[in-house]
C-alpha cells in the first residue's frame, strides 16, 4: 500500500472540486489496496471484530479520532471537525460479508473459507477510508463536522439500528449520505436520483397445522403439504389482482418445509418468504392481505395457518434536495453524461433506517466492465468489480460532504 501519511494541501487557495479531483488520482492506489486487503478477510454480520480493528488502525494512521461500538466490538464512528463551525453530516459504509464460497480466481481472494465479500462491502469500506483521507487533507475547508460510520450487519438488516443507538452521533447529525457499488451500471457512471430507490423488505413465515396420517388413507388426514401449495399459489394473486399494477409489489416463497417420510401425509408445513414494496401504505395492506389469504385458504382445507412478519428494512427514499446536490457534485466530478438514471430496485438496504429520520441521499456507483469479467450479480461466487469506481466513490463522498456543509452553513 502507498503511504497513508496525509499530504498538506493549501486548499484555501483553490476550488475544492479541483483539490478533490487531484486527491482522487493521488490516493487511488491506497484505496484499491485497502479494498484488496479487506477482500481477503471477510467477516459476516456481527462477526466483524477483526475488520473493525483493521479499520481502526488505518484511522489511527490518518490521525482521525473514533469510537468502537463495544456492545459487540464491531462498528466504528469516526469524526473530522472542520476549521469552521457549521452543521454535521454522516457518511456511511457497511462492513459485513456473506456466507459465500469465492470462485473469482483473484490473487487476493478470500482467505476465510465459505465467506466472501460478494456484495461489495469491501469496496464500500475502501471508499469511505479514501474519503476520510481526503477530508482530513482538506480539513481546513470543512465548515462543520463529518461523521464517518463503518456499520456492521447490513446483510442481516440489523446494523443500522445497532449503530443508531451507539452514543449521540445520530442525534447530532443533520444529514446522511451513503452508497453502493452496483453491477447494473457501467463503471464510471453514478445514479443519485430522488425518490424511491430500494424496496422495503418484509420477512414472511407461515406455520400450517393439518392432520397427519398414512399415505394410503388421505380421507383421514388434512394434508398440510397440499394446503401449503394452495397458499403459495393464492398468494401470487395478491400481486396480480389485489394491488394496482402501477405499484411495484413482489411476494416470494423461497423455502417450503413439509413431511418426514414418502408415504406419510404431513400434518405440519412451514413456508418462509419475502415481500417487497416501496410505499408504507402498501406494506400495511400487504401484511393484512397475506394474513387473510393464508388463514382463509387453510380454513377451506380444514387446516389452520399462523402468519408472522419481520420488517427487515423500510424503503430507501432519497430526499429531493439531497439528490439534487448529489447530481450537481457528480456532474462536476465525472461529467454530466455520467450521472445517469437507473430504475429503482427491489433489493433492500438498511441505510433506509437513517433516511427515515434524516434528509439525505443513497447513491449507486457503477462497477460493470465485461473486459474485467465484472458482470456477475451481487452475492455471486464470481462477483468482481472494476476498481476504477473506488476512487470515484471516495471523491463523491468527499465533495458531497464539503458542498452540503457549505450550502447549509448558517452564516
pLDDT tens column, 186-201: 999 999 999 999 999 9
Same domain, 159 and 178: yes
pLDDT tens, position by position, 244-277: 888 899 999 999 999 999 999 999 999 999 999 9
Same domain, 255 and 344: no
pLDDT at 4 over 80: no
pLDDT computed for residue 176 by the predictor: 98
How many angstroms separate the CA atoms of 250 and 253, rounded? 10
Residue 241 belongs to some domain of the structure: yes
Residue 362 belongs to some domain of the structure: yes
Strand 175-186 relative to strand 84-94, pairing: parallel
Average model confidence (pLDDT) across the chain: 95
Same domain, 264 and 167: no
Same domain, 286 and 368: no
pLDDT computed for residue 410 by the predictor: 78
pLDDT at 285 over 80: yes
| Residue 211: band (very low, low, confident or very high) from pLDDT cuts 50, 70, 90 | very high
pLDDT computed for residue 141 by the predictor: 96
| Residue 3: band (very low, low, confident or very high) from pLDDT cuts 50, 70, 90 | very low
Give me the DSSP letters along 37-95: HHHHS---TT--HHHHHHHHHHHHHHT--EEE-TTTT--EEEEEE-SEEEEEEEEEEE-
Same domain, 219 and 191: no
pLDDT computed for residue 9 by the predictor: 41
How many angstroms separate the CA atoms of 233 and 139, rounded? 58
CATH number at residue 372: 3.40.630.10
| Beta-strand runs (E) in 96-189 | 143-151, 175-186
Largest interatomic CA distance in the chain: 88
Residue 1 belongs to some domain of the structure: no
Mean pLDDT within 331-343: 97
pLDDT computed for residue 94 by the predictor: 98
pLDDT computed for residue 11 by the predictor: 39
Strand 76-81 relative to strand 268-277, pairing: unpaired
End-to-end Cα separation, the chain, in angstroms: 41
pLDDT at 354 over 80: yes
Mean pLDDT within 393-407: 98
Residue 75 belongs to some domain of the structure: yes
How many angstroms separate the CA atoms of 329 and 165, rounded? 31
Mean pLDDT within 125-143: 98
Same domain, 123 and 213: no
Q: Is the Cα dihedral 28, 32, 38, 44 positive or negative?
A: positive
Same domain, 289 and 226: yes
Same domain, 209 and 182: no
Percent of the chain scored above 70 by pLDDT? 96
| Residues 266/214, Cβ–Cβ less than 8 Å | no
Pick the last residue of a domain from 269, 288, 313. Answer: 313
47 is in an annotated binding site: no
Residue 220 belongs to some domain of the structure: yes
CA dihedral 215, 216, 220, 223 (to 10 degrees): 30
180 is in an annotated binding site: yes
Contacts of 40 (CB under 8 A, 6+ apart): 108, 109, 110, 111
pLDDT at 167 over 70: yes
The angle subtended at Cα 293 by Cα 288 and Cα 295, nearest 5°, is 95
Angstrom CA distances, 283 to 201, 247, 272, stand at: 9, 12, 17
How many angstroms separate the CA atoms of 286 and 251, rounded? 9
pLDDT at 336 over 50: yes
pLDDT computed for residue 7 by the predictor: 44
pLDDT at 13 over 60: no
pLDDT computed for residue 246 by the predictor: 86
367: helix, coil or strand?
strand
CATH number at residue 302: 3.30.70.360
Residue 43 belongs to some domain of the structure: yes
Same domain, 114 and 22: yes
Same domain, 252 and 368: no
pTM: 0.92
pLDDT tens, position by position, 73-121: 999 999 999 999 999 999 999 999 999 999 999 999 999 999 999 999 9
376 is in an annotated binding site: no
361 is in an annotated binding site: no
Report, in this order, helix, strand and coil percent for the chain, each rounded to 5.
40, 25, 35
| Residues 360/349, Cβ–Cβ less than 8 Å | no
| Residue 15: band (very low, low, confident or very high) from pLDDT cuts 50, 70, 90 | confident
Number of structural domains the chain divides into: 2
Pick the last residue of a domain from 263, 294, 313. Answer: 313
Of 277, 123, 117, 247, the C-alpha closest to 187 is 123
Burial class (CB in 10 A: 0-12, 13-18, 19+), 378: middle
Residue 38 belongs to some domain of the structure: yes
pLDDT computed for residue 281 by the predictor: 86
Q: Residue 281 is part of which domain span?
A: 200-313
Same domain, 251 and 358: no
117 is in an annotated binding site: no
Pick the last residue of a domain from 313, 331, 347. Answer: 313
pLDDT at 384 over 60: yes
Mean pLDDT within 333-348: 97
| Residues 13/83, Cβ–Cβ less than 8 Å | no
Mean pLDDT within 396-404: 98
How many angstroms separate the CA atoms of 409 and 411, rounded? 6
pLDDT at 386 over 90: yes
pLDDT tens, position by position, 37-76: 999 999 999 999 999 999 999 999 999 999 999 999 999 9
Angstrom CA distances, 363 to 158, 219, 334, 337, stand at: 21, 57, 14, 16
pLDDT at 6 over 90: no
Same domain, 355 and 215: no
Of 130, 93, 102, the C-alpha closest to 39 is 102
| Beta-strand runs (E) in 237-340 | 249-258, 264-265, 268-277, 304-313, 316-318
Residue 181 belongs to some domain of the structure: yes
Amino acid at each position: 500500500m502507498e503511504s497513508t501519511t496525509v499530504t498538506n494541501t493549501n486548499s484555501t487557495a483553490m476550488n475544492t472540486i479541483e483539490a478533490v479531483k487531484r486527491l482522487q488520482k493521488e490516493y487511488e492506489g491506497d484505496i484499491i489496496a485497502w479494498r484488496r486487503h479487506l477482500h481477503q478477510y471477510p467477516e459476516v454480520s456481527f462477526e466483524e471484530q477483526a475488520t473493525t480493528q483493521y479499520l481502526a488502525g488505518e484511522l489511527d494512521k490518518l490521525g482521525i479520532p473514533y469510537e468502537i461500538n463495544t456492545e459487540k466490538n464491531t462498528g466504528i464512528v469516526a469524526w473530522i471537525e472542520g476549521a469552521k463551525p457549521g452543521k454535521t453530516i454522516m457518511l456511511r459504509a457497511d462492513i459485513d460479508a456473506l456466507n459465500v464460497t469465492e470462485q473469482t480466481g483473484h490473487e487476493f481472494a478470500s482467505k476465510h473459507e465459505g465467506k466472501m465479500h460478494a456484495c461489495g462491502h469491501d469496496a464500500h469500506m475502501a471508499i469511505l477510508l479514501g474519503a476520510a483521507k481526503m477530508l482530513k487533507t482538506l480539513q481546513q475547508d470543512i465548515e462543520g463536522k463529518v461523521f464517518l460510520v463503518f456499520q456492521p450487519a447490513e446483510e442481516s438488516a440489523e446494523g443500522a439500528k445497532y449503530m443508531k443507538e451507539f452514543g449521540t452521533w445520530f442525534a447530532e447529525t443533520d444529514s446522511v449520505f451513503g452508497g453502493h457499488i452496483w453491477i447494473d451500471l457501467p463503471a464510471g457512471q453514478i445514479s443519485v436520483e430522488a425518490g424511491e430507490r430500494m424496496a422495503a423488505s418484509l420477512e414472511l413465515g407461515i406455520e400450517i397445522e393439518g392432520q397427519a396420517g398414512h399415505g394410503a388413507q388421505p380421507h383421514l388426514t388434512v394434508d398440510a403439504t397440499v394446503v401449503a401449495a394452495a397458499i403459495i399459489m393464492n398468494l401470487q394473486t395478491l400481486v396480480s389482482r389485489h394491488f394496482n399494477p402501477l405499484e411495484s409489489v413482489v411476494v416470494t416463497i423461497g423455502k417450503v418445509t413439509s413431511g418426514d417420510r414418502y408415504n406419510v401425509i404431513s400434518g405440519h408445513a412451514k413456508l418462509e418468504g419475502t415481500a417487497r414494496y416501496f410505499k408504507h401504505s402498501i406494506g400495511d395492506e400487504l401484511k393484512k392481505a397475506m394474513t387473510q389469504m393464508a388463514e382463509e385458504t387453510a380454513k377451506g382445507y380444514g387446516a389452520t395457518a399462523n402468519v408472522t412478519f419481520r420488517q427487515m428494512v423500510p424503503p430507501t427514499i432519497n430526499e429531493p434536495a439531497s439528490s439534487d446536490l448529489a447530481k450537481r457534485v457528480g456532474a462536476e466530478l465525472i461529467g454530466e453524461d455520467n450521472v445517469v438514471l437507473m430504475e429503482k430496485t427491489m433489493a433492500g438496504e438498511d441505510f433506509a433506517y437513517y433516511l427515515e429520520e434524516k434528509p439525505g441521499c443513497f447513491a449507486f456507483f457503477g462497477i460493470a466492465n465485461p473486459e474485467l469479467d465484472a458482470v456477475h450479480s451481487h452475492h455471486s461466487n464470481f462477483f468482481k468489480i472494476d476498481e476504477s469506481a473506488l476512487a470515484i466513490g471516495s471523491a463523491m463522498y468527499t465533495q458531497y460532504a464539503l458542498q452540503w456543509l457549505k450550502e447549509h452553513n448558517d452564516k
